Each structure stands twice: as structure tokens, then as C-alpha cells.
Amino acid sequence: MKTTRLGTTGPEVSRISLGCMSFAGFYGPTDQDESFACLEAAKDQGIDFLDTAEIYGVGVSESVIGAYQQQSGHRFKIATKGGIVIGGARGENNNSEDHLRRALDGSLKRLQVDKVELYYIHRRDWSIEIEQVVETLAKFQQEGLIGQFGFSEIAPSSLRRATKVAPVGAVQNEYSLWTRYPELGLIQACEETGTTFV
């Protein structure tokens, strides 16, 4: 399995990661045994990097990963996301320090870890300047709760603003046969700033 580094100082992770939204039943019924088998198969293929989020099944995905790691003794490198208000209005996001701290604390408890390798802002809260959000995330880093931090679905201009405050480890954005939008500037901005494009 080929690897890549998260940001310029982060850990090496498998270039193919496993997205764990399906553990929460987004694509149809599932159960813990099936999810455990999926994680076991990923491990056997050399995948050591998982992607999950607080909102995936309102913590279900994270809880499954935490339970698997406890039972198997195997530790993946994990990226999770916060910032969407669970139970809020459609599109309601909160990037305040208090909200993100509660979200991250809940994620760590469900994952049964003291630290995650990467923590993303799932969606921007436009009432808070991105520089302030970066200051919050850098504080989580200093406290040893997260390794790198990143943003999901961000504009190149926002990324450049963020990196003036502190290095951004990764940006997650759809890049597929359906959409090539990242080629319009985001991939280039990641290269300029030393940010890993996921």
C-alpha cells in the first residue's frame, strides 16, 4: 500500500482510506458484525486510515470503530469531523470553540482514544471568521487532542487565509468522475500551502 503524509509534518497514512459513513446505515441496513468484517478486510489490505464524522449516524460510525479497536487491539489512524449542529436546522453549523470542543470530546469518547490524527471542520460556520476557527483548532493541537486539522469542502481563498494563521494538514473535497471542481484552484492551493488534498 502506498502512503502519503498529512500536511508537511503529519503522519504517513495509506493513500487509500476507508470511509465509514456506511457503518451508520447510510447505504442500507448494516450491523456491527458486518462493519467489523469490513474493518478487518481493510486492515488486511494495508489500509490504516479511516474517515468518519460525528454526524454519521449521530455517533454510530465512531462507536463502531471504537468498539472494533477495543476488541481487536488494532489501532487505525483516524480522521473525524465536527461542526454540523446535530438536530439543528438544515445547514446549521457551529464552529465556535465551545461547540467544537464538545463535539471533539464526544468523538474521542466514542472512538475510545485520547487523540485523533486528523480533525476536520465538516462545514463552515459563516458567522465566525476562519482565522478564529484555526486558532481554536491549533489550541486542540497544543492540548494533544488532535494531530493535524483540516477542512471539508473549502474554497481556495479560505484555505490560503487559514494557512496564514497555522498549517492546515488536509482538505477533503469530492473529486470524481462527477465533479472536477477542485481542478479550478483547490488542488493548486493545496500544493502552494503544503496541505494534503483528500
- Integer Cα distance of 78 and 148 in angstroms: 11
Q: Which of 56, 68, 119, 120 is catalytic?
A: 56
DSSP string, 120-180: EESS--TTS-HHHHHHHHHHHHHTTSEEEEEEES--HHHHHHHHTTS---EEE---SSS--
Question: How many C-beta atoms surround the C-beta of residue 30 within 10 A?
Answer: 17
Tell me how far apart the alpha carbons of residues 45 and 58 are, in angstroms, rounded to a whole number.
Answer: 28
Q: And the C-alpha cell for 139?
A: 489550541
Nearest 5°: the CA angle 156, 132, 49 is: 60
Contact 114, 75 (CB under 8 A): no
The yes-or-no answer on residue 181 being catalytic is: no
Q: How many CA atoms lie within 13 A of 185 on its CB side?
A: 8
Q: Are strands 12-14 and 196-197 parallel, antiparallel or unpaired?
A: unpaired
**Residues with catalytic function:** 56
